[in-house]
Structures are given as structure tokens and as C-alpha cells.
């Protein structure tokens, strides 16, 4: 499976990707996770990206395209990949097409997880992540239910930044829905349900 996960921040892309990874072992390429790791490690990339991320704005295309191109060159992606949070602009989608055609590994689907924006604001401002294993939970989880690790709130999950991220999504990323529809790759599911119910639909939509 060579897939792109589309959907607003907080739609559940990371949660569904984690379930696919658990069942199928396909490499999960989350640009947000890669950037957060770079910020934490204090690399040049992290220093460049941090101010954009804190504001909920997009990191410049050339930076992110370079990062994903490099990752797709690693051998584990030959058996498939799940792109999560990339592409987010038309320029990124075009660059991805060019890279995948160079590699001879076309996309099999672009899966849109569709959730209303007010539901997203509530979800993201109450979202908590595990410091150790990355589990995505909510403020109801004092400790990680998966590994017992400490839960924290992402810097960009405050309401003002969340609203900006949703605006950025509407302006820059949502046009990709039509782009992938035009390529006959778009499949869409309702993401405003229990994650396990959504996952059953994800597998149906991807014919897994
Ligand atoms: P995410 O975890 O996918 O919500 O990403 C967190 C933040 O990382 C975003 O708000 C952006 O600042 C940055 N980011 C992640 N992926 C991309 C991308 N494909 N293009 C530009 N910026 C990105």
C-alpha cells in the first residue's frame, strides 16, 4: 500500500496510521512527527521549523519536500508507505508525484478522513500524547494506557493555534482533495466516529 492520508489536523490521521502500522507493518511517514523529533534534537531543521510550527503555519515547501524525498529513498518504503501530513500544498503534491514516478512506485490511494471543524477544535484542545510511545489520547488519560508513560499536550494544540491550523488547512491543503479526485485516487470516510469503527471503514476503503 502506497497511501496518502488527507484530512484536517486532528481528523485522526495519526490514530488510523498507527492502527495500519500495527496490523500491516507498513512504514508510517509523519512529517509532523519528523519535525517534532528535529525540534527536540535541536537540529538545523528543527531550528528552522520551530517558529512555523508554534504559530500553526506551514514549514516552507523546499524544506519539507527534501525531508520526505530523503525518507522515501530508504529501503523500508519499497514494500509500501503511509504518508501522514504530507502533502499539504499543491507544490508538495506535484513534487511527490514526480518523486514517486521516478521511483516507479505510484500512489494506490489518497484517503480523506473527513471531520467537521468544530469537532476538531474540541478534539485537539483536549488531545494529549504519550512522551514515550507517541500514543494519541485525551485529557482523560492521566497516564498512557498503552505503556504507562507520561502524557503531554503539544505546544500547537492550544485553541488560537488550532484555529490558525484549520485556516491553513482550508486554504492550502483542502484543494488537494480535488487534485486527488481528479487523479481518481480519492477515497473518503466519515472520521467523526469511534476510531475502531473508522478503522473498519479505512480497511474497506483501501480494500485491505
Ligand atoms: P502535524 O503533526 O501533521 O499536525 O504537523 C505539525 C506541524 O508541522 C504543522 O502545523 C506544520 O507547522 C508542520 N508540518 C507538518 N507537515 C508539514 C507539511 N507537509 N508541510 C508544511 N509544514 C508541515
The torsion angle over the Cα atoms of residues 140, 137, 197 and 93, rounded to 10 degrees, is: 150
Q: Which residue's C-alpha comes closest to atom 19 of ligand 1?
A: 86
From the candidates 47, 48, 102, 127, give the one annotated as an active-site residue. 127
Is 105 considered catalytic here?
no
Considering the candidates 48, 50, 154, 163, report the single residue annotated as catalytic: 154
CA of 107 to the centre of ligand 1 (A): 21
Provide the pLDDT for residue 202: 97
Cα of 58 from ligand 1 centre, angstroms: 6
Is 13 tagged catalytic? yes
pLDDT profile of the chain (208 residues), mean per 10 = 97 96 97 96 96 95 97 96 98 98 97 96 95 93 96 94 96 98 97 97 96
pLDDT for 161: 95
In the chain, what are the domains?
A: 2-116+169-205 (3.40.50.300)
Contacts 24+ apart (CB under 8 A), 94-102: 95/61, 95/65, 95/69, 96/4, 96/65, 96/68, 99/68, 99/69, 99/72, 100/2, 100/72
Asked whether 5 lines ligand 1 (CB < 6 A), one says no
Residue located nearest, by CA, to atom 14 of ligand 1: 32
pLDDT given for residue 99 in this prediction: 97
Q: Residue 197: count other Cβ atoms within 10 Å of its Cβ.
A: 12
* pLDDT value of residue 136: 92
Contact by Cβ (8 Å): 194, 176: no
Concerning whether 88 is annotated as a catalytic residue, the answer is yes
- Tell which atom from ligand 1 comes closest to the C-alpha of 13: 3
Amino acid at each position: 500500500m502506497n497511501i496518502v492520508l488527507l484530512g484536517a489536523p486532528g481528523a485522526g490521521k495519526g490514530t488510523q496510521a498507527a492502527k495500519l502500522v500495527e496490523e500491516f507493518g507498513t512504514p508510517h511517514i509523519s512529517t509532523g512527527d519528523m519535525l517534532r523529533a528535529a525540534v527536540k534534537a535541536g537540529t538545523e531543521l528543527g531550528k528552522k521549523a520551530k517558529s512555523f510550527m508554534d504559530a500553526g503555519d506551514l514549514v516552507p515547501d523546499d524544506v519539507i519536500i527534501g525531508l520526505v524525498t530523503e525518507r522515501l529513498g530508504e529501503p523500508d518504503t519499497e514494500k509500501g508507505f503511509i504518508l501522514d501530513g504530507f502533502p499539504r500544498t499543491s507544490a508538495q503534491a506535484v513534487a511527490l508525484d514526480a518523486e514517486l514516478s521516478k521511483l516507479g512506485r505510484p500512489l494506490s490511494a489518497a484517503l480523506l478522513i473527513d471531520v467537521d471543524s468544530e469537532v476538531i477544535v474540541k478534539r485537539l484542545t483536549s488531545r494529549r500524547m504519550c512522551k514515550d510511545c507517541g500514543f494519541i489520547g485525551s485529557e482523560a488519560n492521566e497516564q498512557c494506557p498503552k505503556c504507562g508513560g507520561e502524557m503531554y499536550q503539544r505546544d500547537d494544540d492550544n485553541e488560537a493555534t488550532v484555529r490558525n491550523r484549520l485556516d491553513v488547512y482550508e486554504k492550502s491543503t483542502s484543494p488537494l482533495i480535488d487534485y486527488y479526485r481528479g487523479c481518481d485516487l480519492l477515497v473518503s470516510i466519515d472520521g467523526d466516529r469511534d476510531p475502531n469503527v473508522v478503522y473498519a471503514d479505512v480497511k474497506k476503503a483501501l480494500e485491505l
